[in-house]
Chain A
């Protein structure tokens, strides 16, 4: 669900996301933690199944993931979850100093 890095930017799988989410869980207010968990459950598990996929979001290939997210964007009830998703994944991605340095240094 994380944004695909631009050319030259650190790849998502190079980042220490476990450390980010440990800090997020410790610091986020209850309603934001709840919103994040609801987002992960609905978009990560329930929504792919509602679209007819056999598994969770993590089991889909890139094209299927993109299609699932684009379909979700057209459903009004899922809009708040997509907002939470974009906020948290952006915070996670840019919390890494290498990412911040890459974008600040980009032409």
Chain B
């Protein structure tokens, strides 16, 4: 039996494996694959359910209520309550993300090593690079083809070119993309190489068992050692999973610290140092139909301001979400909706400096986070740059979505005014948060980290954390592939396995001259 569906588990159910993995997103799937490849028996427990590609719905609403946690309306609390988005299904957010693939940025890695020099030996960059090479190949990562990019992506390229900003087609894990623009609802053609279809499938082929619709509620720690987990199946039964060698928690930077706290592992900075990438978006209306829902969901990015902690992407949503972000109310809003085919949305992702915190309230995680003044200044700069790119690409007007500022803007002068003198309160901006990090930070010292440089919990032997919560900081880029790479290394540490040796250099016979 390779799969257990928790919706059918109505009575107590016991399982066991060498290693129990909590979560099946990019981290959990990558860890499970590596563990199975190394010969361990593996049990993966996932709160969400399996989706087949033919099951993914067309409408935003149907997608939100079936595939997203809290209908994609989870909210961080702070001076500016802001939604954050997480998938809840086998594969985590991978089946419903934009398929954007970045490698670990060297400059960010260097920041980590500057703060913790021992990381250079514990997680060497060249070993990470080799893992990333292998993952890139398995996921079929390749730049978006212009033929399926669609107007929204090609116009972003045009706008960036006009402003002289570095830009490029996004590298994505999609095979033979048809440009249906439905990545966020789940690819109906199964073209996205999400982790459920790749890494987790590899793990299953190597013997791993996946139990879906099972919410893990507690890690069992006996005499200082993790021995398993306890959970609830959607069918009502209690699930007990024994781990003979290790438990790996890979449930996200929000759920992982919450699970540790629910398990009595609250010592140290668990839940602290929450970091993320808040994003602001700019809507623009073009004279010709641009049909935002057509073409690769997110196929082009502008990376020229990454050192300013800003990255720009074309966005692709379901029609309802596109409509809800349009300016105005009443008849003005209706007119904007009627012209839906002419509307575009681009987003600026900010590598925020601010740190928040995950706490437990009535057994549920609550995230507090407020952007710093410099982060808000980046919102303003991001909106100005996006607006200038949109106008340069031919938009009639753009809508920054900033409360207390003009709803429609037609000139560069107004955009510069927004950057220079726009609102300083984060609450004035329409933002959303993706990519979360840092809440079970790795490090040598118990005082400022939750897990050691071997990913093992400081207070519970055999308990490892393998997702982005161990990252010392946010990345400023889409993290799914670096998360998979780090989780792969964490899986090796859990089994005491070394990283594979680098391939021997090719020796060439020196030509005789």
Quote the shortest CB–CB distance from A20 to chain B (angstroms). Answer: 7
Q: Name the A residues within 8 Å of B324 (CB-CB).
A: 86-87, 90-91
Q: List 29 A-B contacts (CB under 8 A).
A: A6-B338, A23-B65, A27-B71, A28-B71, A28-B73, A29-B70, A29-B73, A29-B74, A31-B75, A32-B70, A66-B331, A69-B330, A70-B330, A72-B329, A79-B403, A86-B323, A86-B324, A86-B326, A86-B333, A90-B324, A91-B324, A92-B61, A97-B59, A100-B319, A103-B319, A103-B340, A106-B340, A107-B289, A107-B341
* Contacts of B430-471 to chain A: CB distance below 8 A: 430
Instruction: Tell me the nearest residue of chain B to A106, going by C-beta.
Output: B341
Does A61 touch B at the CB level, under 8 Å?
no
Q: Name the B residues within 8 Å of A73 (CB-CB).
A: 328-329
* Contacts of A37-75 to chain B: CB distance below 8 A: 65-66, 69-70, 72-73
Contact with A along B275-299 (1 / 0, CB 8 A): 0000000000000010001000000
Quote the shortest CB–CB distance from B316 to chain A (angstroms). Answer: 13
Does B62 touch A at the CB level, under 8 Å?
yes
Q: Chain A interface secondary structure, helix, strand, loop or mixed? A: helix
Q: Name the A residues within 8 Å of B339 (CB-CB).
A: 6
Quote the shortest CB–CB distance from A19 to chain B (angstroms). Answer: 11
Does B54 touch A at the CB level, under 8 Å?
no
A61 to B65, CA, bound (A): 34
Asked whether A100 lies within 8 Å of B403 as measured between CB atoms, the reply is: no
Quote the shortest CB–CB distance from B338 to chain A (angstroms). Answer: 3
Does B118 touch A at the CB level, under 8 Å?
no
Quote the shortest CB–CB distance from B65 to chain A (angstroms). Answer: 4
Quote the shortest CB–CB distance from B4 to chain A (angstroms). Answer: 24
Quote the shortest CB–CB distance from A58 to chain B (angstroms). Answer: 15
* Contacts of B40-83 to chain A: CB distance below 8 A: 58-62, 64-65, 70-71, 73-75, 81
Contact with A along B74-109 (1 / 0, CB 8 A): 110000010000000000000000000000000000
Instruction: Tell me the nearest residue of chain B to A6, going by C-beta.
Output: B338
Q: A83-B430, A93-B320 are in contact. Are A20 and B61 (CB under 8 A)?
A: yes
Q: Name the A residues within 8 Å of B163 (CB-CB).
A: none
Does B505 touch A at the CB level, under 8 Å?
no
Does B176 touch A at the CB level, under 8 Å?
no
A residues contacting the other copy or chain, number (CB 8 A): 40
Does A18 touch B at the CB level, under 8 Å?
no
Given contacts A5-B334, A28-B73, A86-B324, 19 further A-B pairs with CB under 8 A are: A3-B323, A6-B339, A20-B61, A23-B65, A29-B70, A31-B73, A32-B70, A32-B73, A69-B330, A70-B332, A72-B329, A86-B323, A86-B329, A91-B60, A94-B319, A94-B320, A94-B323, A100-B319, A107-B341
Q: Name the B residues within 8 Å of A91 (CB-CB).
A: 60-61, 64, 320, 324
Q: Name the A residues within 8 Å of B60 (CB-CB).
A: 91, 94-95
* Contacts of B317-370 to chain A: CB distance below 8 A: 318-321, 323-324, 326, 328-334, 337-341
B residues contacting the other copy or chain, number (CB 8 A): 37
Quote the shortest CB–CB distance from B137 to chain A (angstroms). Answer: 35
A3 to B340, CA, bound (A): 12
A92 to B170, CA, bound (A): 32
Instruction: Tell me the nearest residue of chain A to B69, going by C-beta.
Output: A29
Does A15 touch B at the CB level, under 8 Å?
no
Quote the shortest CB–CB distance from A3 to chain B (angstroms). Answer: 5
A74 to B244, CA, bound (A): 62
Asked whether B61 lies within 8 Å of A82 as measured between CB atoms, the reply is: no
A9 to B293, CA, bound (A): 18
Asked whether A90 lies within 8 Å of B340 as measured between CB atoms, the reply is: no
Contact with A along B169-209 (1 / 0, CB 8 A): 00000000000000000000000000000000000000000
Instruction: Tell me the nearest residue of chain A to B181, going by C-beta.
Output: A104
Asked whether B334 lies within 8 Å of A3 as measured between CB atoms, the reply is: yes
Asked whether A69 lies within 8 Å of B329 as measured between CB atoms, the reply is: yes
Does B404 touch A at the CB level, under 8 Å?
yes
A6 to B333, CA, bound (A): 11
Which of B61, B81, B319 contacts A104 (CB under 8 A)?
Answer: B319
Question: Which of A9, A28, A85, A90 gathers most chain B CB within 10 Å?
Answer: A90
A76 to B427, CA, bound (A): 10
Instruction: Tell me the nearest residue of chain B to A23, going by C-beta.
Output: B65
Q: Name the B residues within 8 Å of A86 (CB-CB).
A: 323-324, 326, 329, 333
Quote the shortest CB–CB distance from B430 to chain A (angstroms). Answer: 7
Instruction: Tell me the nearest residue of chain B to A79, going by C-beta.
Output: B403
Quote the shortest CB–CB distance from B369 to chain A (angstroms). Answer: 16
Q: Name the B residues within 8 Å of A97 (CB-CB).
A: 58-59
Asked whether A65 lies within 8 Å of B330 as measured between CB atoms, the reply is: yes
Quote the shortest CB–CB distance from B3 to chain A (angstroms). Answer: 25
Q: Name the A residues within 8 Å of B318 (CB-CB).
A: 94
Q: Name the A residues within 8 Å of B320 (CB-CB).
A: 90-91, 93-95
A97 to B318, CA, bound (A): 13
Asked whether A103 lies within 8 Å of B341 as measured between CB atoms, the reply is: yes
Which of A82, A90, A93, A100 contacts B329 (CB under 8 A)?
Answer: A82
Instruction: Tell me the nearest residue of chain A to B403, going by C-beta.
Output: A79
A38 to B123, CA, bound (A): 50
Asked whether B319 lies within 8 Å of A4 as measured between CB atoms, the reply is: no
Q: Name the A residues within 8 Å of B74 (CB-CB).
A: 29
Q: Name the B residues within 8 Å of A23 (CB-CB).
A: 61, 65
Contact with B along A14-38 (1 / 0, CB 8 A): 0000001001100111011000000
A20 to B60, CA, bound (A): 13
Question: Which of B321, B332, B338 gathers most chain A CB within 10 Å?
Answer: B338
